[in-house]
Amino acid sequence: MASARRGWDATAIPFPSGFDGNSAMTSCLLVIDVQWGMFQALKVPKVWNDGPLLARILTLIQKARAAGTRVVYVQHAGEPHESLAAGSPAFALHPAFAPQPDEPVVVKRRPNAFLDTPLHGLLRGWGIKEIVACGIQTEVCVDSTCRAAADLGYEVTLVSDAHSTWDNQILKAEQVIAHHNVTLKDYDFVRLLKTDELKLGEVPDGGCRNTSTKVNG
């Protein structure tokens, strides 16, 4: 299981091997809560479309590494009675991931990955301006983190086919995903791209409300 590393000096973490001083280093791939319990039906059913979801996220990680784009993993630490209880088998990042020394793991306890975590300071220390988001759970941690990132001044790209959830009493998982893609885009929190459309390291044009390059403190 990947261990959480808190309170780093962002400048002390080496640049990825692909670093060439271009816009790749102003972007960060944020992999949200892709943890073992989401795929093993330990306390909850498997996340919807689990195999293709994992394959797309692994593709995004490969693209980020090739472009020299930062990768940060977010790991939710639940309470003892919750499905992702800290220290339980379900809490571990999916074993398909092998975070590199320059790819931190940020542990959170709330849906918003910026709340009471070092994430904002870490990204600000690196000079990150754009976040590319993927992961689980669409209407909870993915939604909350995208909205918070936009409010902090980041440009946010949500990979529309690389986040997932579960059926609920009203909607199927596919409907929840489609609804949140449209809502977050239409209210200018994010711009949407599919996995095969995303070219990490290129600063995109338009689609998000945050036109300033400043990331607020």
Catalytic annotation, residues: 141
In this structure, what token pair is assigned to residue 118? 């070092």
What whole-number distance in Å separates Cα of residue 149 and Cα of residue 124?
12
Q: How far separated are the first and last CA of the chain, in Å rounded?
A: 32
Q: Which residues contact 201 (CB under 8 A, 6 or more apart)?
A: 22, 23, 24, 27, 67, 68, 69
What whole-number distance in Å separates Cα of residue 15 and Cα of residue 6?
18
Count of CB atoms within 10 A of residue 119's CB?
24
